[in-house]
């Protein structure tokens, strides 16, 4: 694969299609399409404009905007200039953005026009000199960049120079900014481009948000390395996504996308006839969803696993079995091991903490050297915080987040095991298992389940149904039936919210 050039933009640039009028970004209105030759000129103009405003190499550009071609060009322009792109979830409130303004200390804040008035005071307090909007016009709009002549250079970078800071979605404590270097992102992108067999003619159907590693890095970087066309979709309308599959070959989604696609009557083999690859990640894909999708479309979803701090870590194979419930072996170049509390490697098949090492692993948390040091072992392995088992052939199965591990009566209970048992019961669509404060057991195993459409679930019946499957200490002491589980934008079940909501279950009589 060769040594990647240090600036990630240069790596993409070297692979832009020879036919420069080839389309890069495609949106609903053809006037908004972006061709590959425009990527060069527009990011050139944007970086000249950034320079004019004093944004230098290493300066942070904090961005809270909806998905659009211009937002993607701005990201690429920051890479090109060597500025550090810091995207924020569009759901963050003004108070939350104020934290990121203080923490990231950016040179510039870019937001959507309706947010400007609310965010400006926090930006001023944090000493941010420029607030710009991604609106169509107006004095403070980014489109002002169009008057600048393109700067055709690409900033020279050292291998460890930070390309982006992505804040972890941390549910407790302060959100941490993971610094990803140009080299981290390049290494991961080259590997994924290779293992997922990107080839000429591939077209990406992009329905993910672009403030998270999945949509911003995994999806866009693969497409850019391939000189591919990217069909951008904002929001997730399953019927539209199915209709657009007729003109695409690759789709990347979170598990919720797949359940919504399955609920869409037009999804069938004909609709996916031209598709080559369906990928899933960011949250666990139910085995039942995996099977139902294959039955309906003839395509086996390829599940992979990663995290903000490391990009992609494992992937099911492109050829060979894509095992439901398993996230595959470590990617080429990524060392993965499962260790116990003492840091000793666990026997194969036994659950422990997953640790990884590789060129994709971030350089550290922004301005948190102590936190960074705590999360790395002395031999360079990063402690992912995920609990997993590893099979003899190296395939990894995740069994829960370390912080979600339940210790009941002194015994470890891995939520995934209980969830899998519950999901297999008739009438159960999905479940989330958590530990709640319990006067006798320390933590009481508690399940929250969602019924299949039309099914009526009864707590006592569900508990009794697990009696023969699970050891007594693993059996849920309470089961709550709900219509849906709380999820974030990436489809992750918010277990912390469930724990808060149900905190008094065993302690208040
Ligand atoms: P984030 O940093 O927001 O991307 O979240 C990373 C976390 O999402 C990982 O540490 C895992 O706990 C979870 N995750 C990502 N992909 C998967 C997957 N395929 N299956 C289960 N959990 C996943």
Q: Hey, whose CA ends up nearest to atom 20 of ligand 1?
A: 284
Give the pLDDT confidence score for residue 2 in this predicted structure. Answer: 53
> Which one of 177, 179, 492 would you pick to mutate in the ligand 1 pocket, going by the greatest count of ligand atoms within 8 A of its CB?
492
Structure tokens at 70: 């211009």
Whether ligand 1 lies within 6 angstroms of the CB of 42 is answered as no
Per-residue model confidence (pLDDT) at position 396? 98
Task: Please state the φ and ψ torsions of residue 315, each to the nearest 5 degrees.
Answer: -155, 140
Q: Whose CA is nearest to atom 5 of ligand 1?
A: 307
Q: How many angstroms does the Cα of residue 309 sit away from the middle of ligand 1?
A: 11
Task: Calculate the average pLDDT of the chain.
Answer: 94
Confidence of residue 173 (pLDDT cuts 50, 70, 90): low
* Residue ranges in 199-322 assigned as alpha helix (H): 213, 220-225, 238-244, 255-262, 287-297
**Does residue 494 line the site of ligand 1, with CB under 6 A?**
no
The predicted pLDDT at position 479 comes to 97
pLDDT band at residue 341, thresholds of 50, 70 and 90? confident
Share of the chain above pLDDT 70, in %: 97
Query: pLDDT tens for residues 273-286?
Result: 999 999 999 988 98
Ligand 1 contact via 296 beta carbon (within 6 Å): no
Residue 94's SS3 state is helix
Question: What's this model's pTM, rounded to 2 decimal places?
Answer: 0.92
Question: Which band of pLDDT confidence, cut at 50, 70 and 90, is reported for residue 158?
Answer: confident
Compute, in angstroms, the gap from residue 228 CA to the centroid of ligand 1. Answer: 26
Mean pLDDT of 303-324: 97
Report the percent of the chain where pLDDT is more than 90: 86
- Determine contact, residues 204/181, Cβ cutoff 8 Å: no
Q: What tokens appear for 309 in the block? A: 């701090």
Phi and psi at residue 338, to the nearest 5°: -115, 125
Residues 350-368: what's their mean pLDDT?
97
Burial 14-36 (b: 16+ CB within 10 A, else e): eebbeeeeebbbbbeeeeebbbb
Domains of the chain with CATH codes? 405-501 (3.30.300.30)
**Is the CB of residue 337 less than 8 Å from the CB of residue 355?**
yes
Q: Which of 453-462, 466-475, 489-498 has the highest mean pLDDT?
A: 453-462
CA of 196 to the centre of ligand 1 (A): 19
Q: What values do phi and psi take at 311, rounded to 5?
A: 60, -140
Cβ of residue 375 lying under 6 Å from some atom of ligand 1: no
Ligand 1 pocket mutation pick from 216, 255, 282 by most atoms within 8 angstroms of CB: 282
181 lines ligand 1 (CB under 6 A): no
Q: What residues pair up with 409 in beta bridges, in sequence order?
A: none
Ligand 1 neighbour 327 (Cβ under 6 A): yes
pLDDT at 440: 84
Instruction: State the closest ligand 1 atom to the C-alpha of 385, by its place in the atom list counted from 1.
Output: 10
Q: What is the reported pLDDT for 411? A: 83
How many Cβ atoms from other residues are within 10 Å of residue 186's Cβ?
25
| Spacing, Cα 305 to ligand 1 middle (Å) | 6
pLDDT tens sequence across 196-233 = 999 999 999 999 999 999 999 999 999 999 999 999 99
Q: Higher pLDDT residue, 137 or 441?
A: 441
For tokens 């036919």, what's the residue?
A: 19
Nearest-atom index, ligand 1, CA of 304: 19
The pLDDT confidence band at residue 460, using thresholds 50, 70 and 90, is very high
- Summarize pLDDT for 75-119 with one digit per residue, the tens: 999 999 999 999 999 989 898 899 999 999 999 999 999 999 999
Using the mean position of ligand 1's atoms as its centre, give its distance from the Cα of residue 402 in Å: 12
Strands 406-408 and 229-232, bridge-based pairing: unpaired
* pLDDT tens digit sequence for 114-150: 999 999 999 999 999 999 999 877 778 999 999 999 9
What is 288-331 written as a DSSP string?
A: HHHHHHHHHHS---EEEEEETTTEEEEE--SSS---TT--BSBP
Name the least confident of 254-268, 404-418, 442-456.
404-418
Q: Whose CA is nearest to atom 1 of ligand 1?
A: 307
């Amino acid at each position: 694969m060769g040594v990647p050039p240090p600036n990630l933009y240069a790596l993409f640039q070297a692979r832009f299609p020879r036919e420069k009028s080839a389309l890069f970004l495609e949106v609903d209105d053809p006037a908004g399409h972006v061709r590959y030759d425009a990527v060069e000129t527009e990011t050139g103009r944007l970086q000249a404009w950034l320079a004019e405003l004093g944004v230098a190499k290493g300066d942070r550009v904090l961005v809270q905007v909806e998905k659009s071609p211009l937002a993607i060009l701005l990201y690429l322009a920051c890479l090109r200039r060597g500025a550090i792109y810091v995207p924020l979830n569009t759901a963050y409130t003004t108070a939350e953005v104020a934290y990121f303004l203080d923490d990231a200390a950016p040179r510039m804040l870019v937001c959507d026009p309706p947010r400007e008035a609310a965010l400006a005071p926090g930006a001023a307090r944090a000493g941010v000199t420029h607030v710009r909007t991604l609106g169509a016009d107006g004095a403070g709009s980014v489109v002002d960049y169009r008057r600048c002549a393109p700067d055709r250079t690409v900033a020279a970078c050292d291998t460890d120079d930070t390309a982006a800071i992505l804040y972890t979605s941390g549910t407790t404590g302060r959100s941490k900014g993971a610094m990803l270097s140009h080299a981290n992102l390049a290494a991961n992108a080259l590997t994924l481009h290779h293992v997922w067999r990107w080839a000429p003619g591939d077209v990406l159907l992009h329905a993910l948000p672009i403030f998270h590693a999945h949509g911003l890095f995994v999806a866009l970087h693969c497409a850019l390395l391939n000189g591919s066309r990217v069909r951008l979709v904002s929001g997730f309308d399953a019927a539209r996504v199915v209709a657009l599959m007729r003109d695409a070959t690759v789709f990347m989604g979170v598990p919720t996308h797949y359940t919504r696609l399955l609920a869409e009557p037009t999804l069938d083999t004909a609709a996916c006839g031209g598709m080559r690859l369906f990928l899933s990640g960011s949250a666990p894909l139910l085995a039942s969803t995996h099977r139902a999708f294959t039955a309906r479309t003839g395509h086996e979803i390829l599940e992979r696993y990663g995290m903000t701090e490391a990009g992609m870590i494992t992937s099911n194979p492109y050829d060979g079995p894509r095992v439901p419930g398993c996230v595959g072996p470590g990617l080429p170049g990524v060392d993965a091991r499962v260790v116990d509390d003492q840091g000793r490697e666990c026997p194969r098949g036994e659950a422990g903490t997953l640790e990884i090492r590789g060129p994709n692993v971030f350089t550290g948390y922004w301005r948190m050297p102590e936190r960074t040091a705590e999360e790395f072992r002395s031999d360079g392995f990063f402690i992912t915080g995920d609990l997993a088992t590893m099979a003899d052939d190296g395939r990894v199965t995740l069994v829960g987040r370390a912080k979600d591990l339940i210790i009941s009566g002194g015994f470890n209970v891995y939520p995934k095991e209980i969830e899998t048992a519950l999901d297999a019961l008739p009438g159960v669509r999905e479940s989330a298992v958590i530990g709640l404060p319990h006067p006798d057991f320390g933590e009481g195993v508690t399940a929250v389940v969602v019924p299949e459409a039309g099914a009526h679930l009864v707590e006592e019946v569900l508990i009794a149904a697990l009696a023969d499957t699970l050891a007594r200490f693993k059996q849920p002491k309470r089961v709550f039936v709900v219509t849906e589980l709380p999820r974030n934008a990436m489809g992750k079940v918010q277990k912390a919210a469930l724990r808060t909501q149900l905190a008094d279950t065993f302690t208040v009589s």
